[in-house]
Amino acid sequence: MKKIQDFNVKEYKWLNDSSYVIVLQSSYPIPEIKPGNFAEIAVPNASDVFLRRPISVLDVDRELNTLSFYIKVVGKGTKKLSELNIGEKVSIIYPLGNSFSINGIQNALIIGGGSGIAPFVLLGRKLQEEKVNVTFLFGARTKEEIVLTEEFSKYGEVISTTEDGSMGEKGLVTQHSVFKGDFPFDKIYTCGPDPMMKAVAKIALQKNIDCEASLENMMACGFGACLCCVTETTSGNLCVCTDGPVFNSKVLKW
Ligand SMILES: Cc1cc2nc3c(=O)[nH]c(=O)nc-3n(C[C@H](O)[C@H](O)[C@H](O)COP(=O)(O)OP(=O)(O)OC[C@H]3O[C@@H](n4cnc5c(N)ncnc54)[C@H](O)[C@@H]3O)c2cc1C
Ligand code: FES
């Protein structure tokens, strides 16, 4: 069940000049968090950032009562969250949204770009527990934007593409050689910019493979009240915050 809870900033780790991991700690127990769940984080002391910001849970430690978030600075809210003092109070509503499904699969391909890598630490760990072979394919403009590879490699092989060729194969994720020749995967999970997810969904359709996409539509309330996050599906308009953020790509009318 979702709750509003105060956390304190425990630590920051900058990964490059525009993204960081923030660890928040609570004095109270943390409920179960499923891969794909997100939180609505209030930005403290910021009168010009009124709405909470939706951010996927990167990791959880239920012994230390900590939640971690991977955040890319794109505007005022994500910048102000990077400037809090250690110990400062942050209110969050969580856990929100649905989660990825893991049914009888053997080889999963996880494709992420931008802030869309965030839900995949919890997913990779869960898939490993379920004895599923995991390959992570991450795409970015340059090698500096490919981050947290050490963490992801605990759960599977990490491969990548960069647009400038500075790491992995040169090009876009959908141009990676993993899509050529034998394709051992029976499930694709993806999160990142819409054009990337659409291209991935198209490949999944061509290969007749199940694909789940976690959408990052803009949100306000985060729990189904304002309808500002709707996406068009084969079942009509659905709220990304409550019916998603994870959808089977076949139902999405992008
Ligand atoms: C379910 C969900 C999970 C998310 N998880 C993460 C995460 O783990 N890490 C992370 O860094 N970000 C994540 N995001 C995106 C994040 O919520 C936005 O980047 C953030 O709200 C922007 O706030 P801001 O105040 O910094 O930017 P704003 O000042 O609000 O906007 C700055 C610019 O970013 C654009 N923008 C704002 N929100 C989005 C969005 N959702 N998608 C695309 N463009 C946007 C605006 O149009 C504007 O151009 C997630 C979004 C959703 C819906
Ligand atoms: S963000 Fe308000 S209904 Fe989804």
Indicate if 114 and 204 belong to the same structural domain: yes
The residue count for the chain: 254
pTM assigned to the model:
0.96
The reported pLDDT for the residue numbered 194 is 96
Convert the pLDDT of each residue in 136-168 to its tens digit: 999 999 999 999 999 999 999 999 999 999 999
| Residues 103-117 as b or e (16 or more Cβ within 10 Å = b) | eebeebbbbbbbbbb
The whole domain housing 68 covers 3-96
The reported pLDDT for the residue numbered 181 is 86
User: How far apart, in whole angstroms, are the C-alpha atoms of residue 189 and residue 132?
Assistant: 13
With a 6 A CB cut-off, is 237 part of the ligand 2 pocket? no
Convert the pLDDT of each residue in 74-110 to its tens digit: 999 999 999 999 999 999 999 999 999 998 999 999 9
What ligand 1 atom has the least distance to the C-alpha of 53? 21
Which of 78, 100, 196 gets mutated to test ligand 1 (max ligand atoms within 8 A of its CB)? 78
CATH code, domain carrying 173 = 3.40.50.80
pLDDT band of residue 45 (cuts 50, 70, 90) is: confident
pLDDT band of residue 201 (cuts 50, 70, 90) is: very high
Indicate if 59 and 117 belong to the same structural domain: no
Residues of the chain with pLDDT > 90: what percent? 94
Q: Is a pLDDT exceeding 90 seen at residue 47?
A: no
Indicate if 113 and 205 belong to the same structural domain: yes
With a 6 A CB cut-off, is 226 part of the ligand 2 pocket? yes
What ligand 2 atom has the least distance to the C-alpha of 227? 3
117 φ/ψ sector (left φ>0, alpha ψ -120 to 50, else beta): alpha
Indicate if 129 and 203 belong to the same structural domain: yes
